[in-house]
Structure 1
Amino acid sequence: MKFLLSILVVAMLSITNSITAQNKKITVTINNITSDKGKVGFALFNKDNFMKTPIQGKESKIKDGKTTVVFENVPSGEYAITCYHDKNNNGKMDFKSNGMPLEDYGASNNVMAFAPPTFEGAKFMLKDKDLKLEIKF
Structure 2
Amino acid sequence: MKLIAALVTATVLFISNTVTSQNKTVTATVVNITSDAGKVGFALYDKSTFRMKPIQGATSKIVDGKSSVSFENVAAGEYAIICYHDKNDNNKMDFRPNGMPLEDYGASNNNMSFGPPKFEDAKFIVMDKHVSLEIKF
TM range (shorter): over 0.9
Report the CA distance between 1:91 and its aligned residue. 0.7
- Corresponding residue for residue 41 of structure 2: 41
1:6-57 CA distance string (max 9 Å, x none): 4333222211111101211100111111111101000111111110001111
C-alpha distance in structure 2 between counterparts of 1:120 and 1:11, whole Å: 39
Paired AA for residue 7 in structure 1: L
1:119 and 2:115 matched:
no
Percent identity reads 62
Match of 2:68 in 1: 68
Amino acid at match of 1:132: S
Distance of 2:38 and 2:2 partners within structure 1:
56
Structure 1 residue 130 and structure 2 residue 103: aligned? Answer: no
Instruction: With the length of structure 2 as denominator, give the TM-score of the two structures.
Output: 0.94
Paired with 2:30 and 2:100, the residues of 1 have a C-alpha distance of 22
User: What is the one-letter code of the residue matched to 1:99?
Assistant: G
Q: Which residue of 2 aligns with 1:9?
A: 9
TM-score, with structure 1 as normaliser: 0.94
**Matches of 1:91 and 1:85, distance apart in 2:** 10
| Residue equivalent to 1:54 | 54
- State how far apart, in whole Å, the 2-side matches of 1:117 and 1:2 are: 55
Number of aligned residues: 137
Match of 1:84 in 2: 84
Residues in 1 aligned to 2:123 and 2:27: alpha-carbon distance in whole angstroms: 15
Give the whole-Å Cα distance in 1 for the aligned partners of 2:86 and 2:55.
Answer: 20
Deviation above 6 Å: which 4+ runs of structure 1? none
1:95 aligns with 2:95: yes
Structure 2 portions without partners, runs of 5+: none
Q: d(CA) in 2 for partners of 1:48 and 1:10?
A: 35
SS in structure 2 opposite 1:95?
A: coil
Q: Which runs of 5+ in 1 are unaligned?
A: none
- Secondary structure, aligned partner of 1:36: coil
